[in-house]
Structures are given as C-alpha cells and as structure tokens.
Chain A
C-alpha cells in the first residue's frame, strides 16, 4: 500500500463486504495504489487486481474463499462503481484512476 505519486500507479478504492472483509484484516474499505500495467505490460484490469489483492493485500491464507479457478469465487458479486461487473466486461475491465471496486459476498451468514 505504498503511496507512490509516480505515474506508474493508479489510486483506487477497494471494498469488501458481506463477510469478505474478514479475509482482509476485517477492514471494509481499502485505498490502494496499484500499478497501471500488469505483469505483461497490459493496462491493469480486474483480473490483475484480484491477483494483486491475493498477493499484496490479503493477510489471511484462505485464498480459496476469495478466488476459485483463477477468478472471483462464484457467489461473490463484483461491483465496479456500483455497477455489476457483468455490465462492464467482468475481469477484462480496465481499471481507471478513482474507481471503486466492491467485492460483495452472498455466501456468508444467512
């Protein structure tokens, strides 16, 4: 969570709720600066963000509660600026500065 002011990072807000916050230090809202480009030099998309979250943000080692088969676990809704990610191209959506990406679980509690 380095606050680099260089052009190589974009600042976004990532939220976890519906029980998912327990995997992320019980913190609902995270202000993050993520690289503008992914590992292969492409613009960072949601798929990259999910990998980034697993590697650099998640403290909990139960990664499979968040990711399954290399994508967000079925039952976890992803909202990009409040819109269903299915309306935005799912994990191919290219992240813009200031975006709010919300991971909202339907799996916990009842």
Chain B
C-alpha cells in the first residue's frame, strides 16, 4: 500500500485517520486541526470569559493531561486571557493515586501552572484505602464518585475559582447517553449531554458557602478518545495510564466496550450518539432548565449525578450491561403481571412544554394525566423536578436534606473500627450509641483476651 498524503497540506505523509470523517492527516496538520476544533468548541459555547480563573480537574491521566496542554496552547495562541490552575484530588489510594499525582506535579512544571491537591482525608476524614478496608472492593466506586464531585467543588472554592473544566471526552459522553437511554432516565440524559453544568445558587442564604455555585464544563466533549490519545502520543505528553487498583479492567462487559465495538464498525457512531443525545435532551420536558432562562446549553447538575467511579471520568465500573439485562427481564415480568402503567406519547410531546417553564409539563411526565391501564409497558419514571437546597450537615448543594456524601460518611463513621482498644477508653455505649454489634462484639472479645 503506497503511503497516502495528508488531505490538508497535500505534501506530507498521512499518519492519522480521523474517526469522525475518515480524513487522512499528517502529524502537524492533525495537531493543528485537533486544537482548532477545541478552540471552536470553547468559543461557540462561550465557555470562558476574559479574566476568568479556571481550575482544570487533573488526574494525571490522558484526558486531563491533554486538556491542560491544549488549554495552555489555546490560551496563549488566541489570547483568551484566562488563568489556568491544576486541581487534583487525592483519593488516598496507595500505589495508584500517589503515583499519578507525581505525573500531575510534573505537568504543573511542564505547563507552568499552579497546582492544588485536595485530599479525601482532609475533606472527609477517610482515604479510599480506609473506605475499602471498611466496605470492601464492591461498591467502593460509589463512595469515590460521590466524594470526588464535592471534592472538586470544594477545591475550587478553596482556590476562589468559579469554573472547573474536566477532561470528559466524546466517548465518555456517548457512553453516558447510552446508559441513560437504556435506563430510560431522560432528565439525566438532558443534564449529562450538556457542555456546561452548574450547581446553581438556588439557595440565596447569606451564609451560603461559595462551593454551591461552581460551573463545570467539558471542552473535550466532541473530541474522540482515540484522537486524545494520539494527540498525547504525537506531542509526547507525559501521562499516567495505570488502572485504579480498586476497579481494574472497568471496561470489561461495560457500555464502554459497546462504544468501542461500535466505533470499530463505524467510527462516526460516537459523535452520532453524542448529537442524538443532545437532540433527545432538547425534547425532555422540564429537563433542561437552561432553555427557560437564556438557552446557553447550561443546565443544573445536582451532586447526586455522578455515582460512578470518578477517576475514570464517571465511567461506570463495568458489568452494568448485565445488570441492565437483569432489570429489563424484571420489567418484562412486571408487564406480564400488569404492574406497569403507560405514559402516553402525548405526555412526552415536549416541543412546546420544554420551551416554557410550564409546571404542567412536569406533571405530565409524572404521569398525572394521560394514564392508560393497558398497552406496552414503559417504566414509569419519577421525573419530579428536584428542588435544590443545602445539606443540613455540610452546606453542600443537595436535593435531599442530607447530601449523599454525608449519608455515606455517616454510614462509614458508625462502623469505624476502634483502632486502639484499651480498657481505659471503654465507654462505647455512651459515645457511640450506633456502633454495630459486630464491632461491639469484637471489642468485648478483645477485652476478654487481654
């Protein structure tokens, strides 16, 4: 096969085949096109404004490393006039995060950016190593995901920064779109396809902490993971690619694997899914708050959103296709037994209800009108608009009285093993009334032995 020439400069040999349009490019043209497209995403969505201080959520992985490198390049080339700061979360995972943080520290030097590291231990009193010791490896990603989201906001607040950019790429967004479609979770579909999300300052209490109003955006939303990796490769960027020791091989049996298989068959599938997700999101009544107040594609994202693993960009921890199948089977059973109620299509006709802030629209989705007792099953969805308030414990934005992080923490703290058990400190009943029986029994056992 004779080497092909670059489709743009028509002089150099092509090294890259672009997944989105099969364009063959040489290295310099690829680098330039990749950067220009990110620039276009930033300007067409008005992501930044002059003088803004922006924190880059940096894990040391490929996405955030490329994001930092590209943003530095663009900020200088197009004179955005923004100040970029690296913000890293230390989950406290030995042999994983401590190594990747070394990468971030090198990046900080390479890109000449200030770096702030916020640790789970200082924020929550627990490292992930301790959490896993307590809850086991199964389900620990939920803790990590919930803690992470708040941690980024709290880190940003510490820096006095109101905008955090993350390295979510097109593959990540396509995966989320698929998962939310399969789950039938339209409101979340709407929120997660949005390029800008914010924890709104719904509460206007004077003592409202600043971490409740931090904007999030994803400048790499339309960038293929493949191109991100190739960009890092051809620019010899220094990134960390070891897997989290608590969720290794998260891509197996996951929606991620499905996305990658689709890409192999038809590479444009990834962007097609992202665009379809956006189109569908527009039809979700009441889902896109932003369209009712200025339509900037900005939408509110409560902290409960990202339940999954944080370090892999909210990517799910694998095996979810199997659990989905199980759930679908359950739905079938429910249909046969006649437990389900259909929501008529008229109730989802969101064209008109989505535009106005029409309280009826929300009610329709809730199935208050247009109920039918027979017909094909559709899982009734509770899409009640979440009313944002503040967590009574920590003040973080939450739709519940107590935010999810505090709920998880409460569970952890209740069961915290007492490390130094001594006879003199033996007053567990008074101090820790909720201590569970196992721990209690253990203590007594230990005392007995001593």
- Indicate whether B129 reaches chain A with its CB closer than 8 angstroms: no
Nearest CB of A to B70, in Å: 17
The answer to whether B63 has its CB under 8 Å from any CB of chain A is yes
Q: How far is the CA of A104 from the CA of B225 in the complex (A)?
A: 12
- Chain A's closest residue to B243 (CB) is A108
| Interface-located stretch among A5-13, A29-37, A45-53, A84-92 | A84-92
Question: Of all chain B residues, which has the CB nearest A82?
Answer: B15
Contact A74 B257 (CB under 8 A): yes
In B119-178, the 8 Å CB interface with A consists of 167
Task: Encode contact with A along B251-273: 1 for CB under 8 Å, 0 otherwise.
Answer: 11000110011011000000000
Q: Indicate whether B426 reaches chain A with its CB closer than 8 angstroms.
A: no
Q: Assuming the A-B contacts A108-B243, A109-B242, are A84 and B15 also in contact, with contact meaning beta carbons closer than 8 angstroms in the complex? A: yes
Q: Is A96 an interface residue (CB 8 A)?
A: no
Q: How far is A89 from B4 in the complex, measured between Cα atoms in Å?
A: 12
CA distance A51 to B321 in the complex (A): 29
CA distance A51 to B384 in the complex (A): 54
Q: In the complex the two chains form, is B16's CB within 8 Å of A108's CB?
A: no
A109 to B252, CA, bound (A): 14
Complex Cα–Cα for A79 and B232 (A): 14
How many of B's residues come within 8 Å of A, CB to CB?
41
CB atoms of B61 and A110 under 8 A apart: yes
Kindly report which residue of chain B lies nearest to residue A69, judged by CB atoms. B261
Residues of B with C-beta under 8 A to A105: 241
Partner of B243, one of A82, A93, A109: A109
Binds A, one of B307-315, B326-334, B368-376: B307-315
B1's partner among A18, A19, A75, A89 (CB-CB below 8 A) is A89
Give chain B nearest CB distance to A26 CB in angstroms.
10
Given A74-B260, A74-B263, A77-B229, A110:B59 Cβ within 8 A: yes
Contact indicator A19/B16 (Cβ below 8 Å): no
Contacts of B48 in A (CB 8 A): none
Q: How far is the CA of A62 from the CA of B400 in the complex (A)?
A: 43
Chain B residues whose CB sits within 8 angstroms of the CB of A93 once the complex forms: 1
- CB neighbours (8 Å) of B244 from chain A are 109
Among A86, A105, A107, A110, chain B packs the most CB atoms within 10 A around the CB of: A110
Q: Is the CB of B15 within 8 A of A87?
A: yes
* Cα A110 to Cα B311 with chains together (Å): 6
- Asked if residues A110 and B313 are in contact (CB atoms below 8 Å), the reply is yes
> Which listed residue, A74, A83, A89, touches B264 by the CB 8 Å rule?
A74
Smallest beta-carbon distance B93→chain A, Å: 13
With A17-B241, A104-B233, A110-B312 known to touch, is A84 a contact of B17 (CB < 8 Å)? yes
A22 to B96 alpha-carbon distance, docked (Å): 14
> Out of A17, A18, A22, A107, which one reaches B251, CB within 8 Å?
A107
0/1 string, B45-89, CB within 8 A of A gives 1? 000000000000001011100000000000000000000000000
Among B5-45, those with CB < 8 Å from A are 13-17, 24, 27
B313: A residues at CB distance < 8 A: 110
How far apart sit A24 and B130, CA to CA, in the bound complex (Å)?
A: 31
- For the complex formed, measure the closest distance between the CB of A72 and the CB atoms of chain B, giving whole angstroms: 10
Q: By the criterion CB–CB under 8 Å, are B249 and A110 in contact?
A: no
User: Do A84 and B240 have beta carbons less than 8 Å apart?
Assistant: no
Give 28 A-B contacts (CB < 8 Å), ordered by A residue.
Answer: A17-B233, A19-B241, A22-B242, A64-B252, A65-B252, A74-B257, A74-B264, A75-B256, A75-B260, A82-B15, A83-B13, A83-B14, A87-B1, A87-B15, A88-B1, A93-B1, A105-B241, A106-B228, A106-B229, A109-B62, A109-B100, A109-B239, A109-B243, A109-B244, A110-B61, A110-B62, A110-B63, A110-B315
A residues near B (Cβ < 8 Å) are 17-19, 22, 62, 64-65, 73-75, 77, 79, 82-84, 86-89, 93, 104-110
Give me the 9 closest cross-chain CB pairs, A-B, nearest first.
Answer: A110-B312, A74-B260, A19-B241, A75-B260, A109-B241, A109-B61, A74-B264, A83-B15, A106-B229
| B interface residues with partner A (beta carbon < 8 Å) | 1, 3-4, 13-17, 24, 27, 59, 61-63, 100, 167, 225-226, 228-230, 233, 239-244, 249, 251-252, 256-257, 260-261, 263-264, 311-313, 315
